[in-house]
Structure 1
Amino acid sequence: MLSPQMTDRLWQALLDTVLMVGISAGIAVLAGIPLAVFLVTSGPGGIFPAPRLNRIVGMVVNGFRAVPFIVLLVALIPLTRLIAGTTIGIWAAIVPLSVSATPFFARIAEVSLREVDPGLVEAAQSIGCRRWHIIRHVLLPQALPGIIGGFTITVVSMIGASAMAGAGGLGDVAIRYGYQRFDTVVMLVVVVILIALVSAVQISGDLAVRRLRAR
């Protein structure tokens, strides 16, 4: 059985995990969608062609995606200290989580944007729509189900990455109180909570995608 103190600790760890992942996911969306739009519209045949800049940005995105999260976590320590003022705690974990999630989500959103029927873009151009209007009223609405599906995948991966940050949250409790103290009950409870959290995120994302596609 879990003691009242451990129950309170697990509850606080859940809140910390939700806070870390929630803020990092919000940053990933705010930065990732514009990045995905740029990668799509600035490429060859795009509505804002800039092939050279597109290649440079694409290489930077691929570079960050290629770095394992644990390596990125260590490499970003100076930046984390500069932004958060510390290298420990949930606020410090938000920096590497955001940097890791943004290019990952941007590439997923890019795929969804590229799947939009080019005929819709050509039709909008033929009636004189401005390029920004095409992005806002054609590309993004048509790609929205795929973007939300990709966002769901991103959040699920971030929940797993938050456990490696060692900055509080459910992963920290599992390591410190479950693994290091050989408390199997704590480990099992943390696993169950993580499964429930991931399932809730996945079900919510799938439901949102189905509703959008049904319109």
Structure 2
Amino acid sequence: MARGSKGVTIAEVARKGHTGKGTVYLYWKTKEDLLLDLVCRDFLDLAGELAELLAGDHELIRPSRLCPALLDLARAHPYVDALRSNDAELLGVLTTDVRSATLLDALGPDALVRRILPIWRTNLLARTDWTVADQTQAVNFLFSGVMTSTAGASPEAVRDSNRVAAGAFTALLGPEEAGPKDVRAAAEAALAALAEQRAAVTNLLSQPIPA
């Protein structure tokens, strides 16, 4: 995080890990493979935290609550935000690696909203009077705008932005008319989608996560 991808070498990784360079290369063929695993784990952690929150509180599926929660999670995972914003200094060649695009499409914050949007529409949590494609683009614009405008902001400013964002998402998506059954169905469908996308990202890892 301090020096970017170019400032880190396999030799230094080996030294910090009290092993030899050759041992590191047994697990990762290139430095980029090692970095990609690190980034994948950050995305998996974000998705796991979101799933845990949602499983414990189905009401979190409401757009006015889920979108600010996802904003907070994305801010807390630096590699997720770096890949989303195409931060070449931190990620180096990973910004153009096809696996990075796959990762963003599976568990990027924008991608998660894109996959959850049809669930909201089906369960009375989002308006259906315009196309999914246009609605998705509008939500992504709003999400990206909030992320960009709060980069480096104080905790107080972030909290205030989240409050405004919650209202903005409601204004964009319409009133949340879902009842308890709709909310539960939406939460369960979102959890299933998260599990599916986490599995896709796990398949990108050079080194599997121990069971």
TM-score of the aligned structures, taking structure 2 as reference length: 0.30
Larger Rg: 1
TM-score of the aligned structures, taking structure 1 as reference length: 0.29
Q: Which has the higher helix share?
A: 1
